[in-house]
């Protein structure tokens, strides 16, 4: 799957691979081109491997190149093949062992070997020098992705943040993009969709202006897939998926083209463009089949079956559904198996095979019930056990009664059963009432929370909410050693606006300024109103230079905004004080105080300017 092998490989090529010590020069140059011409590098590596003897020391270098290139191209089995051969060679250097292990890990993520590969990485980690940050970043990134495959999302994110902190400064934007895509994908898997979207977009920002590469294609594909899964911004998803396809074509990544075709096919099918959907799916299918990607092949067949059913091409539809079912059984994908059975049932019903349709529908229903039952098993078994014990106890008492009391005992039994029934009904109503009360409480709480966190006039975050967010973001940035910048903004001569045009005009200026400023912000920036004409802008993942760019962008937009109540008068300007988090900052409040002092300096120096606060401590 693209989300495993090639996704993991991006990290390895982002952390110092090209400068590997001890590599032969041709192999070293090949490493530097893998992201930009993977098919060409793969051909070069295979040619070298045909000519090099099994005992030639240079063979290990080219086996590592071949393994990592296979990872980029989502050829997991091929990556395992080349890396396994390389690891069996004698007298490997530490760097060769490291690179081959990374390729072995990358190729194994789709093979259910994550736990075993974690043990191998632990051994490599122990043998790695503490000063070799490039190798350590590789290892932590690999561990992060492996923990994700085991659904241990918290540990996965911890490992990826370690990789982000210790990665070399060389090519920092590329490394940051790689790790942000990794972090975002883990958040996607754990249903933290908002955080995932922020990090995917941040990764694309870091890759903007760089040459086409596999990593860029993957970032575009993953953000598009997230939008499709959430059912939002589908037009943007289509554009991103096409961009991903174009990028993959430029670098020769056939798997990337196929995944983009698959995504475009799903979108086309959702919008009932069956001809386009079928064209995209048929283009992608042979590539996935060639790579041995049974899971994606199964889902492609499923969509082709749905299209065949919609177009009343029943034989082709049934063949595709059968292929999807066979793939699901082979890889033990219960969701695909259940869905393919439902599709087969619909096809058979459409062709008059009612018995076959009923059988498949029954199998699908049973499988769905198994999935639901597994999710609820603990609660159901506990309730059933308690009920059985009580019922058996009462039955035993009744069965012990003899003779003249038999009729009375039968009456008692009926009464007892009525008690059980009444208790069960009462319990059911109590559970329903509890769920409804919980839902109303959550909904009411969300409304109150939104009202408590929002400034009524501008719709921005208010002071109370800002202080809570600043404290959380300060702690997170400090823990993960990330950049954080805060700015205090004050509108110049705002009192004159109120005095000259009235408070209603002043309110309109504040609303329009807030709306205009928000258009100039990035997705993870937070703009809040402290009160009056004073605002605070919190910018996570942002250093001083980036913060100045954001402030200047806001200043430019405000000078262009439309405010009719000012009757053609000059638009207001603002002064800003900027504070960048430093080692001496003990809290977010301290940063805010420094930014406030810088604001006063800006006012004293003539207004309509930005001043930088001195570092804390």
Give per-residue pLDDT as tens, 214-250: 888 899 999 998 888 888 888 898 999 999 999 989 9
Share the mean pLDDT of the chain: 83
Given a cut of 90, whether residue 540 has pLDDT beyond it is yes
609 vs 382: which has the higher pLDDT = 609
The reported pLDDT for the residue numbered 592 is 93
Q: How far apart are CA 528 and CA 193, in angstroms?
A: 23
CATH number of the domain at 1-171, out of 1.20.1050.10, 1.10.540.10, 1.25.40.10, 3.90.950.20? 1.25.40.10
What is the pLDDT averaged over residues 53-78?
84
The reported pLDDT for the residue numbered 365 is 85
Model confidence band, residue 284 (pLDDT cutoffs 50, 70, 90): very high
- Which residues 6+ apart lie within 8 Å of 405 measured at CB? none
Q: How far apart are CA 598 and CA 71, in angstroms?
A: 50
pTM: 0.56
Model confidence band, residue 581 (pLDDT cutoffs 50, 70, 90): very high
Model confidence band, residue 595 (pLDDT cutoffs 50, 70, 90): very high
The reported pLDDT for the residue numbered 304 is 94
The reported pLDDT for the residue numbered 377 is 62
| Token digits of residue 579 | 């504070």
Model confidence band, residue 129 (pLDDT cutoffs 50, 70, 90): confident
The reported pLDDT for the residue numbered 75 is 79
On whether the CB atoms of residues 581 and 483 are closer than 8 A, the answer is: yes
Model confidence band, residue 449 (pLDDT cutoffs 50, 70, 90): low
44 vs 10: which has the higher pLDDT = 44
The reported pLDDT for the residue numbered 17 is 37
Given a cut of 50, whether residue 14 has pLDDT beyond it is no
- For residue 541, which of 471, 483, 600 has the smallest C-alpha distance? 483
For 395-424, b/e burial (b = at least 16 CB within 10 A) is eeeeeeeeeeeeeebeeebeebeeeeeeee
Give per-residue pLDDT as tens, 296-335: 999 999 999 999 998 889 999 999 999 999 998 888 888 8
- Helix, strand, or coil here: 41? helix
Given the structure tokens 């079912």, which residue do they identify?
325
Model confidence band, residue 504 (pLDDT cutoffs 50, 70, 90): confident
Given a cut of 60, whether residue 6 has pLDDT beyond it is no
The reported pLDDT for the residue numbered 406 is 72
Domain parsing of the chain, residue ranges: 1-171, 401-450, 463-612
**How many H helices and E strands in the chain?**
25, 5
- Which residues 6+ apart lie within 8 Å of 274 measured at CB? 268, 307, 310, 311
Of 132-136, 193-197, 342-346, 536-540, give the lowest mean pLDDT range: 132-136
On whether the CB atoms of residues 251 and 37 are closer than 8 A, the answer is: yes
Q: How far apart are CA 12 and CA 14, in angstroms?
A: 5
On whether the CB atoms of residues 83 and 103 are closer than 8 A, the answer is: yes
Given a cut of 90, whether residue 545 has pLDDT beyond it is yes
Q: How far apart are CA 222 and CA 226, in angstroms?
A: 6
Q: How far apart are CA 66 and CA 26, in angstroms?
A: 13
On whether the CB atoms of residues 330 and 36 are closer than 8 A, the answer is: no
On whether the CB atoms of residues 524 and 537 are closer than 8 A, the answer is: no
- Which residues 6+ apart lie within 8 Å of 244 measured at CB? 217, 218, 220, 221, 224, 256, 259, 260, 263
Model confidence band, residue 437 (pLDDT cutoffs 50, 70, 90): low
| Token digits of residue 360 | 């498949």
Of 69-78, 230-239, 420-429, give the lowest mean pLDDT range: 420-429
DSSP 331-378: HT-HHHHHHHHHHHHHHHHHTT-HHHHHHHHHHHHHHHHHHHHHHHHH
Q: How far apart are CA 382 and CA 367, in angstroms?
A: 22
95 vs 518: which has the higher pLDDT = 518
Architecture of domain 463-612: 2-Layer Sandwich (3.30)
The reported pLDDT for the residue numbered 108 is 65
């Amino acid at each position: 799957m693209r989300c495993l092998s090639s996704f993991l490989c991006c990290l390895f090529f982002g952390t110092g691979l090209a400068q590997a010590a001890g590599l032969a020069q041709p192999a070293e140059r090949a490493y530097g081109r893998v992201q930009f011409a993977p098919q060409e590098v793969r051909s070069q590596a295979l040619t070298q491997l045909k000519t090099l003897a099994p005992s030639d020391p240079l063979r290990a270098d080219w086996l590592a190149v071949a393994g990592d290139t296979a990872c980029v191209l989502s050829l997991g089995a091929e990556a395992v093949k080349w890396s396994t051969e390389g690891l069996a060679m004698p007298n490997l250097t530490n760097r060769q062992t490291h690179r081959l292990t990374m390729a072995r890990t990358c190729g194994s993520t789709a093979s259910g070997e994550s736990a075993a590969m974690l043990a191998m990485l632990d051994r490599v980690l122990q043998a790695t020098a503490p000063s070799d940050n490039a190798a350590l970043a590789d290892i932590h990134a690999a561990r992060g992705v492996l923990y994700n495959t085991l659904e241990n999302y918290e540990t996965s994110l911890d490992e990826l943040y370690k990789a982000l902190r210790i990665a070399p400064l060389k090519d920092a934007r590329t490394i940051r993009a790689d790790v942000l895509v990794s972090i975002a994908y883990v958040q996607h898997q754990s249903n933290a969709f908002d955080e995932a979207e922020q990090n995917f977009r941040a990764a694309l920002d870091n890759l903007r202006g760089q040459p086409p590469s596999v990593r860029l294609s993957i970032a575009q594909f993953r953000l598009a897939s997230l939008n499709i899964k959430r059912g939002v911004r589908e037009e943007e998803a289509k554009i991103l998926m096409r961009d991903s396809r174009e990028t993959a074509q430029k670098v020769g990544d056939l798997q990337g083209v196929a995944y983009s075709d698959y995504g475009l096919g799903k979108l086309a099918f959702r919008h009932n463009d069956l001809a386009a959907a079928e064209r995209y799916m048929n283009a992608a299918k042979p590539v996935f089949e060639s790579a041995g990607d049974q899971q994606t092949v199964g889902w492609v067949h499923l969509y082709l079956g749905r299209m065949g059913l919609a177009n009343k091409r029943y034989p082709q539809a049934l063949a595709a559904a059968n292929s999807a079912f066979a793939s699901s059984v082979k890889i033990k994908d219960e969701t695909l198996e259940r869905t393919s059975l439902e599709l087969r049932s619909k096809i058979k019903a459409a062709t008059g095979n009612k018995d076959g349709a009923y059988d498949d529908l029954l199998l699908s229903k049973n499988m769905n019930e198994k999935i639901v039952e597994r999710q609820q098993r603990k609660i159901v078994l506990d309730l059933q056990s308690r009920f059985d014990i009580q019922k058996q106890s009462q039955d035993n008492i009744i069965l012990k009664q003899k003779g003249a009391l038999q009729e009375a005992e039968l009456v008692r039994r009926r009464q007892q059963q009525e008690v059980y029934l009444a208790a069960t009904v009462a319990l059911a109503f109590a559970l329903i009432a509890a769920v409804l009360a919980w839902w109303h409480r959550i909904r009411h709480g969300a409304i109150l929370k939104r009202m408590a966190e929002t400034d009524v006039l501008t719709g921005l975050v208010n002071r109370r909410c800002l202080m809570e967010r600043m404290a959380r973001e300060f702690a997170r940035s400090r823990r993960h050693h990330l950049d954080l910048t805060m700015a205090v903004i004050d509108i110049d001569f705002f009192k004159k606006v109120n005095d000259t045009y009235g408070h209603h005009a002043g309110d309109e200026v504040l609303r329009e300024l807030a709306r205009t400023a928000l258009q100039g912000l990035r997705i993870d920036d937070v703009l809040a109103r402290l009160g009056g004409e004073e605002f605070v802008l919190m910018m996570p993942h942002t250093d001083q230079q980036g913060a100045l760019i954001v402030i200047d962008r806001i200043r430019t937009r405000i000078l262009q905004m439309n405010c009719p109540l000012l009757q053609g008068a000059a638009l207001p300007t603002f002064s800003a004080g900027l504070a960048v988090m430093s080692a001496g900052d003990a809290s977010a409040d301290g940063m805010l105080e420094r930014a406030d002092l810088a604001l006063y300096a800006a006012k004293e120096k003539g207004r309509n300017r930005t001043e930088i606060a001195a570092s804390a401590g």
